[in-house]
């Protein structure tokens, strides 16, 4: 991946192009490119995190590189390099500063990032055994990071051990 600061610098004045950067097996769009891709091509799941090296919150989306050709059907695009694709927006598609800013503010931070607390049981020892099931069913797995999930499993294990002892 290119340096995040240079990617964000490239995005700062972007108003008519979607830049996709290949990261592993995925193409990733950042900031304004992410906004345009989400609005005009496909609304994939968004990720918003504070990036310390850039000193700011960054919004991005990604999708498997194998799906690029299908998504680009009927669009003008070019493979700039093996790690960079540039998609030209149609005449009626623009990245307006005010609309982009409002959209970015509305995107929620990922749980556990940037000081946003993850939900965790407060008094795990006083829970009843069936509350383990409720904990599992109420945990929003699809919107959590792998680290959040690992921490959640640790909490479940502690609860199970406490229930077994009591």
Residue 118 lies in a domain: no
Residue 74 lies in a domain: yes
| Res 43: pLDDT | 92
| Res 11: pLDDT | 93
Residue 111 lies in a domain: no
Residues 98 and 154 in one domain: no
Which of 56, 80, 106 terminates a domain? The answer is: 106
Residue 128 lies in a domain: yes
Which of 55, 78, 106 terminates a domain? The answer is: 106
Q: Which tokens sit at 74?
A: 């009927």
| Res 129: pLDDT | 60
| Res 2: pLDDT | 58
Q: Enumerate residues 6+ apart whose C-beta is below 8 A from 64.
A: 25, 26, 27
Residues 158 and 102 in one domain: no
Residue 116 lies in a domain: no
| Res 62: pLDDT | 93
Residues 83 and 132 in one domain: no
Low-confidence ranges of the chain (pLDDT < 50): 1, 113-127, 166
> Can you give the residue range of the structural domain that contains 144?
124-165
CA atoms of 135 and 74, how far apart (whole Å): 46
| Res 81: pLDDT | 95
Residues 88 and 145 in one domain: no
Residue 117 lies in a domain: no
Cα distances from 115 to residues 6, 84, 110, 112, in angstroms, run 25, 32, 10, 7
Residues 155 and 80 in one domain: no
Burial of 161 (0-12, 13-18, 19+ CB in 10 A): exposed
Residues 96 and 128 in one domain: no
Domain count, the chain: 2
Predicted confidence (pLDDT) per residue in 70-87, tens digit:
999 889 999 999 999 999
Residues 30 and 77 in one domain: yes
CA atoms of 166 and 60, how far apart (whole Å): 46
| Res 111: pLDDT | 61
Helix (H, G, I), strand (E, B) or coil at 166: coil
Residues 20 and 76 in one domain: yes
Residues 85 and 128 in one domain: no
Query: For the whole model, what pTM was predicted?
Result: 0.66
Residues 90 and 8 in one domain: yes
Residue 115 lies in a domain: no
| Res 120: pLDDT | 33
Residues 64 and 135 in one domain: no
């Amino acid at each position: 991946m290119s340096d995040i600061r240079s990617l964000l610098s490239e995005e700062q004045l972007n108003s008519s192009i979607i830049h996709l950067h290949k990261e592993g097996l995925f193409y990733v769009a950042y900031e304004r490119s992410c906004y345009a891709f989400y609005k005009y091509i496909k609304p994939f799941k968004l990720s918003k995190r504070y990036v310390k090296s850039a000193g700011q919150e960054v919004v991005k989306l990604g999708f498997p590189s194998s799906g690029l050709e299908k998504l680009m059907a009927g669009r003008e695009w070019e493979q700039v390099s093996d790690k960079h694709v540039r998609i030209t927006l149609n005449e009626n598609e623009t990245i307006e500063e005010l609309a982009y800013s409002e959209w970015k503010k509305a995107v929620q931070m990922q749980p556990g990032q940037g000081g946003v607390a993850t939900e965790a049981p407060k008094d795990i020892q006083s829970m009843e055994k069936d509350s383990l099931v409720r904990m599992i069913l109420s945990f929003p797995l699809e919107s959590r990071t792998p680290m959040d999930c690992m921490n959640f499993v640790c909490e479940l294990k502690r609860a199970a051990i406490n229930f077994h002892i009591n």
